[in-house]
C-alpha cells in the first residue's frame, strides 16, 4: 500500500487509482506533434509507481530514452460519481507536484501500433509525488506555477492557467466513467520542455502561488 500525505495532517491516506491526463497544455501537444484533444486523454498508473521526496528514479534497462514530465497533482478527498461541475472542487483534498516519468521510446512504439501506454507510463518509480497542500490554501488551482529544475537549470515552467481542461472539467469527465474515491490522485498534464534524463541527474519540482511562495516541492535523483 502507498500513502498520500496532506500538510498539517497526521492522516496517511491510502492511495487508490492514479489517473493521468495527456496533452493538457497546447505547447506540449505541439512539441509532441500531437493534435489537441476534444475530450481529455486519460491513462492509469499503478500505485506501485509511486515514490516520494528524496527517492530515486530507477531507469529501466529496457528503455534508452526516459523523459521527465512535471505536473500539478490533485488528491481526491471525497468519493463521487457523475460529479457536477459546480461541486467538482469540493472533492479535492489537496494540490501537489509530481513527475510523470515516461519511457518515450517504448511509448512511441505503442503509439505507432495504436497500443496502450501502460508499460511506458506505469513502470516502478515512474510517479514521484510530493506531499499535498490542503485545498483550503488554494483559492484558484488555475493561478499556480509548475516548475522543474534539472541539475539547477529550469527545464519546464508554466502557469496552470494554460491547462486546456481545467481541474473541474477533468473531474466531471472522468467521474462519468470511473468512481472517484478518497485517495485517488490526478496528474493534470505536463507543459512543454519534456526531455531525456540521465543517471545522476537531480530533479527538483515545485508548485507555487503566483507570488512565488511554495505550496509543494519534490526532489529526486535519477539512478
Among the residue ranges 61-69, 141-149, 151-159, 164-172, the one whose residues contact Mg ion (CB under 5 A): 61-69
Instruction: Say how many residues touch Mg ion, by CB under 5 A.
Output: 3
Smaller CB distance to Mg ion: residue 6 or 207? Answer: 207
Among the residue ranges 109-117, 139-147, 158-166, 190-198, the one whose residues contact Mg ion (CB under 5 A): 190-198
The answer to whether the beta carbons of residues 132 and 187 sit under 8 Å apart is no
The answer to whether the beta carbons of residues 19 and 178 sit under 8 Å apart is yes
Q: Which residue is nearest to Mg ion (CB)?
A: 100
Smaller CB distance to Mg ion: residue 7 or 119? Answer: 119
Q: Residue from 40, 45, 100, 186 that binds Mg ion (CB under 5 A)?
A: 100
Smaller CB distance to Mg ion: residue 80 or 125? Answer: 125
Smaller CB distance to Mg ion: residue 29 or 83? Answer: 29
Alpha carbon distance 63, 106 (integer Å): 7
Strands 202-209, 50-52: pairing kind: unpaired
Taking CA 5 as the corner, what is the angle to CA 41 and CA 186, rounded to the nearest 5 degrees?
5
Q: Give residue for cell 511506458.
A: 120
Task: Output the smallest distance, CB 127 to Mg ion, in A.
Answer: 10
Among the residue ranges 1-9, 96-104, 150-158, 203-211, the one whose residues contact Mg ion (CB under 5 A): 96-104
Alpha carbon distance 133, 43 (integer Å): 24
Task: Output the smallest distance, CB 37 to Mg ion, in A.
Answer: 13
Among the residue ranges 92-100, 153-161, 169-177, 197-205, the one whose residues contact Mg ion (CB under 5 A): 92-100
The C-alpha cell at 182 is: 478518497
Q: Does 69 bind Mg ion (CB under 5 A)?
A: yes
E strands present in the chain: 3-5, 12-14, 18-22, 41-45, 50-52, 56-57, 66-68, 70-76, 92-99, 102-103, 127-129, 133-134, 144-150, 153-159, 185-187, 195-196, 202-209, 214-222
The answer to whether the beta carbons of residues 72 and 160 sit under 8 Å apart is yes
Task: Output the smallest distance, CB 28 to Mg ion, in A.
Answer: 8
Q: Residue from 126, 135, 175, 190 that binds Mg ion (CB under 5 A)?
A: 190
Task: Output the smallest distance, CB 32 to Mg ion, in A.
Answer: 10
Residues that bind Mg ion (CB under 5 A): 69, 100, 190
Amino acid at each position: 500500500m502507498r500513502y498520500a500525505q496532506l500538510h498539517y495532517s497526521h492522516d496517511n491516506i491510502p492511495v487508490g487509482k492514479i489517473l493521468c491526463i495527456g496533452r493538457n497544455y497546447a505547447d506540449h501537444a505541439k512539441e509532441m506533434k500531437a493534435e489537441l484533444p476534444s475530450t481529455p486523454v486519460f491513462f492509469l498508473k499503478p500505485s506501485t509507481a509511486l515514490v516520494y521526496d528524496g527517492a530515486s528514479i530507477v531507469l529501466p534497462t529496457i528503455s534508452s530514452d526516459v523523459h521527465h514530465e512535471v505536473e500539478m497533482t490533485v488528491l481526491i478527498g471525497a468519493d463521487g460519481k457523475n460529479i457536477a461541475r459546480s461541486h467538482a472542487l469540493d472533492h479535492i483534498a489537496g494540490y501537489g507536484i509530481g513527475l510523470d516519468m515516461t519511457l518515450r521510446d517504448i511509448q512511441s512504439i505503442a503509439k505507432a501500433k495504436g497500443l496502450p501506454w501502460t508499460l511506458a507510463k506505469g513502470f516502478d518509480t515512474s510517479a514521484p509525488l510530493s506531499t499535498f497542500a490542503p485545498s483550503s490554501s488554494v483559492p484558484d488551482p488555475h493561478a499556480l506555477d509548475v516548475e522543474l529544475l534539472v541539475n539547477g537549470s529550469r527545464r519546464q515552467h508554466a502557469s496552470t492557467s494554460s491547462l486546456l481542461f481545467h481541474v473541474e472539467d477533468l473531474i466531471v469527465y472522468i467521474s462519468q466513467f470511473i468512481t472517484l474515491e478518497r485517495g485517488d490522485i490526478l496528474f493534470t498534464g505536463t507543459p512543454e520542455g519534456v526531455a531525456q534524463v540521465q543517471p545522476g541527474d537531480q530533479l527538483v519540482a515545485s508548485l507555487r502561488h503566483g507570488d512565488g511562495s511554495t505550496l509543494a516541492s519534490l526532489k529526486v535523483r535519477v539512478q
